Amino acid sequence: MVLPAADSSALMIALLGLIHRGAGRPLVRSLAAPLARDLEARVLELPTGVQDYYPALFGGALHLRYEPGQTVCERLTVDYAGLEARAVLAYSGKPHSSAPSNWGIYRRRLEGDAVAKESFAAIAKAANQAAAALSRGDWARLGAAMTIDWAARKQLDPGLATPDLRRLEWAGLEAGARAAKCCGAASGGTMLFLLRRPEQREVVEAALADAGARILPFRVARQGLQVRRRAK
């Protein structure tokens, strides 16, 4: 399940769209994610994934399935207003670099590490549960899926939950949030909190701010990449 696009991935898609527009060639969106992945991997000299490119390309809430030979991207029908009213995005103040962390974890899975295998399976199951919950507007089930995901990631690599993230997690949940999970590779960056009721927002945001977080605006982009010529 994918919601907001990572900023570097969104920038990559914007650059691809701009380059194709300048060359007079339309960007084939079905090919853009693999292209962006390979370009990023060449620059970083590390294997990278594709999941963060799809929200920037298509917008909305998406469910990705990795089938043999292809990534299947399904757009979910979601109560965006309801989700936005219940979501709080909190920045820890410390950025993270996802590719090195992700590659180390992925390599453990390829080498048959038992903890990595169990954790990856739990993360995949949580993603499917989250997609179903979002489609039904079942916020309790979505919160449960977020909790399972975050627990599996912490089991996979306890270092992903830095002291800053743990402090934010505790503060948000103690203030009444239903669930919390890291965004992306963790080890810094942001955390997403799901409120039980929209009316809790002020209390939860204040608790997170007191814990050192910067509250970021949360809104699901309904549309993906758009390249427009700016009027002079």
Q: Where are the domains of the chain?
A: 7-75, 80-216
The residue whose two tokens read 């990856």 is 120
CA nearest to 84, candidates 224, 222, 218, 223: 218
pLDDT reported for residue 100: 62
pLDDT per residue as tens digits for the range 94-125: 776 666 667 778 888 889 999 999 999 999 99
What value does the mean pLDDT take over residues 1-18? 73
pLDDT per residue as tens digits for the range 157-201: 888 888 999 999 999 999 999 999 998 766 678 999 999 999 999
For residues 189 and 213, the answer to whether their CB atoms sit within 8 Å is: no
pLDDT per residue as tens digits for the range 62-101: 999 999 988 999 999 999 999 999 999 999 987 766 666 6
- Print burial letters for 57-95: b (CB count within 10 Å at least 16), e (below 16): bbbbbbbbeeeeeebebeeeebeeeebeebbbbbbbeee
> In 10 A of CB 106, how many CB atoms?
15
Q: Which residues pair with 100 in a beta bridge?
A: none
Crossing angle, helix 114-136 and helix 139-156, to 10 degrees? 160
The fold for domain 80-216 equals: Alpha-Beta Plaits (3.30.70)
Q: pTM (2 decimals)?
A: 0.88
pLDDT at position 232 over 80: no
**Token reading at 168:** 């934010």
pLDDT reported for residue 4: 41
